[in-house]
Amino acid sequence: MSQRHLLALFDNFDEAAAAVKELRTTSIKGFDSNKDMIMKSPIEHPEIEEVLGDKPVYVQFFTLGGALSGGLLAFFLIAGAQAVFFAQSKGGKPIVPFPPDFVLTYEMFILGGVYITILGFLICAGLPAKRSPLYSAKVSEDQIGILVKSDEGAINTLKAIFTKHKALEIQEEAGK
């Protein structure tokens, strides 16, 4: 049974929140509020996202991995380079001196951390992303949009809920 998308736009954030809450509480056949609902907003709303249920973030694990590998790589690369290739003997200093190598290790630690974090962000946030079927420039301006996907049957129920919560506009995916 084919599915369709709906996008409702709200300029009143509290209403939007209320709408989301209702969608999550009322069970509608052919619509899973965990999978089928995406909220789009011009700014981040921690308080509204709560009602979407807790969705974990994994970026920090990338950060950890990146930083550690960066640091280790640095130390062994540098110490290795100093020891394995033409040894550059410096009077008064050992061939593999710790203080300088630690400085560089520290820098690479950060470098790795930052790079891999960005990578993690792109992966976790699914960027670069395909544009979703329904979108309104309003959500990048001052309105919250709620994008839902459901079976034909549930469409009207959803519409009802949106209109009840003073949706300014409801976009509908052209039927197939």
Distance CA 164, CA 157 (A): 11
Q: Which amino acid is at 27?
A: S
- Select from 3, 22, 65, 121 the one that contacts other proteins (CB under 8 A): 121
Does position 103 interact with other proteins (CB under 8 A)? The reply is yes
Distance CA 168, CA 176 (A): 25
Does position 94 interact with other proteins (CB under 8 A)? The reply is yes
Q: Which stretch binds other proteins (CB under 8 A): 25-33, 141-149, 152-160, 168-176?
A: 141-149
Q: Which is nearer to other proteins, 66 or 161 (CB)?
A: 66
3-state DSSP percent of the chain in helix, strand and coil, to 5: 50, 15, 35
Q: Which two tokens stand for residue 43?
A: 């700014």
- Select from 32, 107, 152, 172 the one that contacts other proteins (CB under 8 A): 107
Q: Which is nearer to other proteins, 2 or 34 (CB)?
A: 34
Per CB under 8 A, contacts with other proteins among 52-91 are: 52, 55, 57, 59-60, 63, 76-91
C-alpha radius of gyration, the chain, whole number: 26
Q: Which is nearer to other proteins, 58 or 152 (CB)?
A: 58
Half-sphere exposure for 129 (CA within 13 Å, toward CB): 10
